[in-house]
């Protein structure tokens, strides 16, 4: 293929309807043997390089070369990002920046700044929260090691100074990773993956020893296949990537078994509109709207490694649904030629199942274009989605002693569905025994824990959930204390049309469904819900969580309460 035709073809691939087709074809270009699905990302790489260059400080002085974020704060992450994405541009033959000496200069200036803010102990800061941070250093090291590899393969004399600066940063940082501590479970594997990447370039035994120190703690994977933080959008995929790095560069291939188990489980975390289930996350991505772009690297790596049709099918699914977003890990794809191999069409992910994940506190139910998640230890204990019509959550609260927000500790399987329970007590308190009186009337010295209780009120709430042919039904039942105001709250995602409901006076985005069935419609997707119940208008019960800001429909009543609600996908 001559260069003119090559450039024309890759320009065409920069639009993403053709890009999705390029993935499916798996055609390889003769240009440096890069497959066209990677070459098609060059326009995105160029856009990213340009954004980073526009944010790079050009003012002479100590800030020169640093890259700012959109809050105009110079930071190591953005500065290292210029070097990372710049290396991709230098490497890719169809990039505007391929072998650009001007870009090499700007990257070298970025490294000068990065070295100037690297602490003497080898660490960098995450200015939003962590300082002298080993784990945040690890996040940067992994990607800069990829950059060093790509630049090294260019064999350009003009990159010698840049490579030396990257090497200096990486080796100082690796020394910090050998001794530094962490905050969260995934940080152990981030540090290990970063050290493994450096070990793959400069194989010093101290790097391997530290990796083995962290690995000795054992990988935090539950029997469901989920990591401790249950962070499906961010940290589970990240953990897969760094465990692959450790296995790849150190030969500890047994670690890939953890990756396999997580990838197997994740196939059941797909919403009908191709979003990832995040409701059970224990980290900042909880209830985040996201897709599967972060999983493309581990699924492709393992599809090729294992010749696995299901993983290949997930790759095809991600290519078709996440599109441009997978370019966020371009440096991974370029630095690992294993990924350049073609993959088969594969087996599509499942779309009809009931999958119980007890260790993750989750039940997934899907039937074609609708799905539901039942969630424990969460005030939002049920979600329901029909295409793009989304119930983001269902909550129940009562005004029982200011602590009536329903949360269940576990999901119990029963013959016809699942049961969630909560038991509450509301006591009153007697005078403090005289021998415990402080003598000075100081209330803080007379804690309730030492006071006898009396007139103890009790409220037990049980929710029964069933799968129906059209969707999900749930029954909310209470026993115990009577005349307690209660509300079922159904929270919808913005962007749809509600019908059959009545606005709650003076409360934004709040409606009552007093009777009958309501509907929520987004485009061609519709959810029917009800029947309604509206015995009062108190939607902000004392002790309940505040309104989320999203459209919310309430069904209200008093204890003893017994009401069944159906959530149905309308075809």
pLDDT at 571: 86
- CB distance 323 to 19 below 8 Å: yes
Burial of 417 (0-12, 13-18, 19+ CB in 10 A): buried
The DSSP annotation for 53-66 comes to HHTB--SSSTTTT-
Place of tokens 């690992």: 336
Please check the confidence at residue 19 and state whether its pLDDT lies above 70. no
pLDDT at 20: 36
Instruction: List, in sequence order, every residue forming a beta bridge with 488; answer none if it has no partner.
Output: 396, 555
pTM: 0.92
pLDDT digits (tens, 9 = 90+) for 372-393: 999 999 999 999 999 999 999 9
pLDDT bucket at 10, cuts 50 / 70 / 90: very low
Please check the confidence at residue 294 and state whether its pLDDT lies above 60. yes
Please check the confidence at residue 3 and state whether its pLDDT lies above 60. no
Helix (H) or strand (E) holding 490: strand 485-492
pLDDT digits (tens, 9 = 90+) for 105-121: 999 999 999 999 999 99
What is the rounded CA–CA span in Å between residue 166 and residue 395? 51
Which residues lie below 8 Å from residue 207, measured CB to CB, with a gap of 6+?
A: 174, 177, 178, 195, 196, 198, 199
pLDDT digits (tens, 9 = 90+) for 206-225: 999 999 999 999 999 999 99
Please check the confidence at residue 6 and state whether its pLDDT lies above 50. no
Please check the confidence at residue 124 and state whether its pLDDT lies above 60. yes
pLDDT digits (tens, 9 = 90+) for 50-72: 999 999 999 999 999 999 999 99
Reduced to 3 DSSP states, what percent helix, strand and coil does the chain have, rounded to the nearest 5? Answer: 40, 25, 35
The residue extents of the domains of the chain are 41-218, 227-350, 353-570
User: Which of 31-35, 425-429, 530-534 is predicted with the least confidence, judged by mean pLDDT?
Assistant: 31-35
In 3-state terms, what secondary structure has residue 488? strand
Mean pLDDT of 335-354: 96
pLDDT at 238: 98
pLDDT at 394: 98
- Pairing type for strands 510-512 and 502-503 reads antiparallel
pLDDT at 21: 37
Please check the confidence at residue 409 and state whether its pLDDT lies above 60. yes
What is the rounded CA–CA span in Å between residue 195 and residue 83? 19
Place of tokens 């590899």: 149
pLDDT at 288: 94
Helix (H) or strand (E) holding 243: helix 235-250
Mean pLDDT of 235-240: 98
pLDDT digits (tens, 9 = 90+) for 509-535: 999 999 999 999 999 999 999 999 999
Please check the confidence at residue 2 and state whether its pLDDT lies above 80. no
Mean pLDDT of 318-334: 97
pLDDT at 5: 38
Q: Is 550 left (phi over 0), alpha (psi -120 to 50) or beta?
A: beta
pLDDT at 32: 62
Pick the CATH number of 41-218 from 1.50.10.20, 1.10.10.10, 1.10.357.10, 1.10.579.10: 1.50.10.20
**Average pLDDT taken over every residue of the chain:** 94
Mean pLDDT of 7-23: 36
Q: What would be the CATH architecture of the domain defined by 353-570?
A: Distorted Sandwich (2.70)
Please check the confidence at residue 4 and state whether its pLDDT lies above 90. no
pLDDT bucket at 7, cuts 50 / 70 / 90: very low
What is the rounded CA–CA span in Å between residue 557 and residue 281? 31
CA dist 105 → 54, 86, 141, 150, 477 (Å):
15, 11, 21, 16, 69
């Amino acid at each position: 293929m001559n260069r003119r035709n090559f450039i024309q073809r890759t320009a065409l691939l920069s639009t993403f309807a053709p890009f999705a087709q390029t993935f499916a074809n798996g055609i390889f270009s003769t240009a440096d043997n890069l497959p066209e699905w990677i070459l098609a990302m060059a326009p995105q790489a160029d856009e990213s390089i340009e954004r980073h260059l526009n944010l790079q400080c050009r003012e002479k002085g100590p800030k020169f070369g640093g890259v700012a974020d959109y809050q105009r704060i110079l930071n190591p992450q953005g500065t290292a990002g210029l070097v990372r994405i710049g290396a991709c541009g230098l490497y890719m033959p169809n990039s505007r920046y391929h072998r650009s000496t001007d870009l090499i200069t700007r990257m070298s200036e970025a490294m000068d700044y990065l070295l100037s803010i690297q602490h003497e102990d080898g660490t960098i800061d995450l200015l939003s929260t962590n300082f002298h941070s080993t784990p945040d250093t690890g996040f940067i090291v992994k990607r800069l090691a990829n950059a060093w590899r790509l630049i090294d393969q260019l064999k350009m004399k003009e990159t010698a100074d840049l490579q030396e600066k990257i090497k200096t940063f990486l080796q100082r940082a690796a020394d910090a990773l050998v001794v530094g501590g962490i905050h969260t479970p995934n940080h152990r594997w981030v540090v290990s993956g970063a050290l493994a990447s450096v070990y793959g370039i400069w194989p010093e035994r101290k790097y391997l020893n530290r990796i083995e120190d962290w690995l000795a703690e054992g990988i935090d994977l539950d029997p469901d296949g989920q990591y401790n933080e249950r962070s499906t959008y961010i940290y589970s995929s990240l953990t897969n990537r760094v465990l692959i790095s450790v296995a790849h560069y150190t030969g500890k291939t047994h670690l890939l078994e953890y990756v396999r188990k997580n990838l197997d489980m994740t196939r059941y975390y797909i919403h009908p509109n191709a979003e990832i289930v995040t409701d059970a996350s224990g980290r900042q991505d909880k209830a985040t709207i996201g897709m599967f772009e972060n999983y493309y690297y581990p699924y492709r790596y393992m599809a090729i490694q294992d010749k696995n049709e299901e993983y290949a099918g997930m790759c095809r699914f991600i290519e078709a649904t996440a599109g441009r977003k997978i370019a966020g890990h371009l440096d991974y794809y370029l630095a690992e030629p294993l990924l350049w191999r073609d993959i088969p069409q594969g087996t599509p992910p499942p779309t009809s199942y009931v999958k119980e994940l007890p260790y993750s506190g989750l039940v997934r139910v899907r039937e074609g274009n609708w799905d539901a998640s039942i969630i424990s230890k969460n005030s939002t204990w049920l979600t329901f989605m029909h295409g793009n019509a989304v119930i983001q959550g269902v909550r129940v609260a009562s005004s029982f002693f200011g602590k009536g927000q329903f949360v269940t500790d576990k999901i119990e399987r029963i013959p016809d569905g699942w049961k969630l329970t909560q038991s509450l007590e509301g006591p009153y308190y007697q005078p403090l025994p005289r021998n415990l009186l402080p003598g000075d009337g100081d209330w803080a010295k007379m804690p309730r824990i030492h006071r006898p209780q009396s007139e103890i009120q009790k409220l037990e709430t049980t929710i029964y959930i069933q799968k129906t042919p059209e969707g999900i039904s749930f029954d909310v039942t209470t026993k115990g204390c009577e005349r307690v105001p209660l509300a079922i709250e159904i929270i919808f995602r913005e962007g749809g049309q509600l019908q059959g409901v009545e606005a709650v006076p003076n409360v934004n985005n709040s409606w009552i469904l007093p009777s009958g069935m309501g509907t929520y419609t987004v485009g061609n997707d519709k959810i029917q819900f009800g029947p309604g119940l509206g015995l009062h208008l108190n939607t902000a019960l004392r002790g309940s969580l505040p309104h989320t800001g999203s459209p919310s429909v309430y069904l209200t009543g008093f204890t003893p309460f017994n009401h069944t609600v159906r959530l149905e996908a309308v075809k």
